[in-house]
Amino acid sequence: MNKSLSRFFVVALSAALLACSGGLHKYVNKGNKKLKRGEYQSAIEKYNEALADGADTAQAAKQIGQAYRQSNRLKDGLPYFEYLVENQKADDETMFLYAEALRANGKYDKAKEIYTRYMKGGQSTYRKAYSKMMIENLDQVQEIMNRKNYYEISNVDVVNTPEAEYSPVIFNQELVFTTSRNSVGFFPGDGKGFTGIYTFKFDDATEKTGVAIPFEELVNLPKRHQASATFSKDGKTMIFARGNDGRKKGDQDVNLYISKFRDGAWTEPEFLKISDPKAWDACPSFSPDGSTLYFASNREGGRGGIDIYQSKMDRRGNFRRVRNMGKNINSPGNEMFPYISDDRKLYFSSDGLAGIGGLDVFVAERQGKQTVVSNMGVPMNSPADDFGVTFINEKEGYFSSNREGGKGDDDIYKFINNSPDFKIAYYYMAATIVDDATGEVLPNAKVKIFDSRGNPVTEGTADAEGKFRYQVQTGQNYTVIAEEANHLTANTIFSTIGKTVSQDDLPEFENDVDLPFSVKMIKKEVNLVIVLENIYYDYNSAEIRDDAAQELDNLLTLLQDNPDMRIELSSHTDARGDGKYNMKLSQKRAESAKKYVIDRGVADDRIIPKGYGETRLLVENASSEQDHQKNRRTEFKILGFDAEQAPEKAPEEEPENPEGSGEE
């Protein structure tokens, strides 16, 4: 909130109260041009110049109010709307915006009065219905404020600055957040700095010291807003919001972008295809299992201003089927900043549901067949904007607020649930080491566990039943490495994300919760063939796609953990198309897969690429796409475990360009 502008308005208003000028004042005209271009803060400055220069007060005040409204700072427009209404110079829209600004400033009784006046004289049927809803919501304010809860909140001083800090998430045991600190230039829409994505590493559990650093350069572009990062369960996919540069060039609005973690760095972010180029799409958030993306959008077909949507991920890692969350979640107002907790509750912020101020934090949960939405009450909510909830564990987390008493703009706060009825759960990884093919338990395997940063946390030996138990934290990924003389070293991820047990399902005040987990080990067996799942190529192409790269990364890890192993890496096609062409295409694909692996440090002579075309079909006379997919596979065969012995080389001649083409 820019208090200095409000103070300036009072002075300028006094000086210009009786001043009028016929027609459009030159500074008002300049302000209108700025407003039309979306340069809202510059427009406000021109309108204030007009006031100081004796322009018609009502004319300038109305435009200033519009500039604040369009730059999502309706709260700051209150004195301008108030002047217009009290001096009987307010039109239909100004009356409505005055009621909205009063509500945003916590002036509930006056807001109800103005909403009521609008219902009697307003012209918009939609806004009349909305005003009726707001009056009903405001009747619940006192009950919400008196509601008993045990949340304790505190400003995370070491993270916050006089600039904006918001949208905290936990990633690799660090705080990732959005901030306008160190901005190069200012966004013309609101005169504030451009936002970027930063990480903050606390020095210890007290959270009193630490250091903030910008995220990757490819993510934070200069003179663009980047905000609200979310990360997939495996930590290899990031989605965030990126805006235009304020000049309406390039992207028309805010859109979603996706980046992948490859070879120790994040890739160039790409436009996420489910984003609507003509709409405002932001606030992305993965579900705990990574299968669903939630986000906010004002795209056509919604229920009001900004709605919350969801999109499911298909087996190739692409998002499909965008769906509005419906009337149980979305109101005629704005719903934003969705977050799904480990116990499957949806936290979000809304200014259209019954709340205390601007954006309030709500929680939605399933109770039987019903979705029940509750305001989280005070102190989580205030007359200001409260939003962007994330959990560290089931008891504590962070959120954002621009409430009074902060360090300047939006700040990050920590919350703790101190309810005496809060049940405690201790979670344990209950691992069983087994043979991948037979399921037979493997006793006495050596086990090492690493945290999400790669730091070792424990090691030991599985018991006679192949079991290994270790206490873990919720919302974390662990790497489990198992070694056994007759099997390949296994390297797998154990995740506690999305595995929190709800308070209602915990039987005691203190509970031990085992999380079963199988570590599957591949037997050291020459000529053993293993199919690599989800290796897809575009039609008639040998280029490695992102979804195929994820599976090849697993093969890379297997080769790195077993440095004496040599393999044949083979590619197969289905039986559609020309057989000769399919043979050559499969060879190219096998070579492409090999190149991906050796480019990342594996010795060239450990892999023989081999294309088999359609000569080794798993399903003869395939008639369905599912059967064709079984034939269209990539696999590897273990050749031996003596890396020093040079394997037989594959033919090096380049295949001729065929006249026909094949079908995969």
Task: Report, as an integer, the average pLDDT of 643-659.
Answer: 43
Q: What is the span of the domain harbouring residue 507?
A: 424-521
Note the pLDDT of residue 368: 81
The answer to whether residue 118 sits within a structural domain is yes
pLDDT of amino acid 440: 95
Assigned token pair, 33: 């041009």
Instruction: Say how far apart CA 242 and CA 271 lie, in whole Å.
Output: 9
128 and 169 assigned to the same domain = no
Secondary element (H or E) of residue 631: helix 625-631
- At residue 114 the predicted structure's pLDDT band, cuts being 50, 70 and 90, is very high
Residues 429 and 350 in one domain: no
With helix as H, strand as E and coil as C, how does 121-153 read?
Answer: HCCCHHHHHHHHHHHHHHCCHHHHHHCCCCEEE
Query: Of 146, 167, 189, which residue sits at a domain end?
Result: 146
**pLDDT, tens digit (0-9, with 9 covering 90-100), for 43-69:** 999 999 988 888 888 888 999 998 888
- Do 141 and 156 share a domain, yes or no? no
Within a domain: 569: yes
Q: What is the mean pLDDT of residues 225-248?
A: 86
Q: With contact defined as beta carbons under 8 Å apart, do 64 and 80 qualify?
A: yes
Answer yes or no: is 659 within a domain: no
Answer whether residue 561 shows pLDDT above 80. yes
Does 330 share its domain with 358?
A: yes
Using the predicted structure, report yes or no on whether residue 614 has a pLDDT greater than 60. Answer: yes
Q: Which helix (H) or strand (E) holds 483?
A: strand 477-484
The C-alpha atoms of residue 298 and residue 602 are separated, in whole angstroms, by 48
Going by C-alpha positions, the residue among 36, 106, 105 that lies closest to residue 66 is: 36
CATH code of 514's domain = 2.60.40.10
Which tens digit of pLDDT belongs to each residue from 168-227?
999 988 999 999 998 877 776 667 788 999 999 998 888 889 999 999 889 999 888 999
Q: Give 354's contacts (C-beta < 8 A, 6+ positions apart).
A: 136, 137, 138, 140, 141, 144, 375
Q: What is the CATH number of the domain that holds 255?
A: 2.120.10.30
Q: Are 436 and 413 within one domain?
A: no
Name the least confident of 11-20, 331-340, 364-373.
Answer: 11-20
For residues 256-267, average pLDDT: 91
Nearest 5°: the CA angle 201, 203, 206 is: 110
Q: What is the pLDDT of residue 187?
A: 73
Confidence class for position 247, pLDDT limits 50, 70, 90: low
The one-letter amino acid at 99: A
Largest Cα span, the chain:
96
Co-location of 217 and 90 in the same domain: no
131 falls within a domain? yes
Quick one: which H or E segment has residue 510? strand 510-521
Stated pTM of the model: 0.80
pLDDT of residue 416: 97
Q: Could you tell me if residue 280 is inside a domain?
A: yes
User: When comparing pLDDT for 12 and 245, which is higher?
Assistant: 245
The answer to the question of residue 645 being in a domain is: no
β-pair partners for 151:
417
Taking Cα atoms as reference points, which of 58, 4, 5, 48 lies closest to residue 27? 48
258 lies in the same domain as 301: yes
Looking at residue 23, what is its pLDDT? 57
pLDDT at 353 over 60: yes
How far is Cα 174 from Cα 579, in angstroms, rounded to an integer? 53
- Do 174 and 192 have their domain in common? yes
- 271 against 549, higher pLDDT: 271
Q: Assess whether pLDDT exceeds 90 at residue 610.
A: yes
Asked if the model's pLDDT at residue 563 lies above 50, the reply is yes
Q: Which of 378, 400, 417 is the last residue in one of the domains?
A: 417
d(CA 217, CA 222): 9
DSSP state of 76: G
Mean pLDDT of 361-376: 92
- What lies within 8 Å, CB to CB, of 650 at 6+ separation is 608, 609, 610
Q: Residues 350, 118: contact at Cβ < 8 Å?
A: no
| CATH assignment at residue 8 | 1.25.40.10
Question: Residue 336's pLDDT band (boundaries 50, 70, 90)?
Answer: very high
The conformation of residue 458, written as its DSSP 8-state character, comes to E
Let me know if residue 663 belongs to a domain. Answer: no
Q: Give, in degrees to the nearest 5, the angle at Cα 617 between 614 and 621.
A: 100
> Which of residues 146, 161, 183 is at a domain's end?
146
Number of domains in the chain: 4
Q: How many residues does the chain have?
A: 664
pLDDT-wise least confident of 33-42, 209-218, 290-299? 33-42
For position 520, what pLDDT does the model report?
A: 95
pLDDT exceeds cutoff 60 at 645: no
The answer to whether position 392 is within a domain reads: yes
Q: What is the pLDDT of residue 652?
A: 45
**509 plus 376 within the same structural domain:** no
| Whether residues 394 and 435 fall in one domain | no
pLDDT at 602: 94
For the ranges 131-145, 246-260, 283-297, 440-454, the lowest mean pLDDT is seen at: 246-260
Over residues 604-630, mean pLDDT = 88
Q: What is the mean pLDDT of the chain?
A: 87
111 in the same domain as 247: no
Residues 552 and 632 placed together within one structural domain of the fold: yes
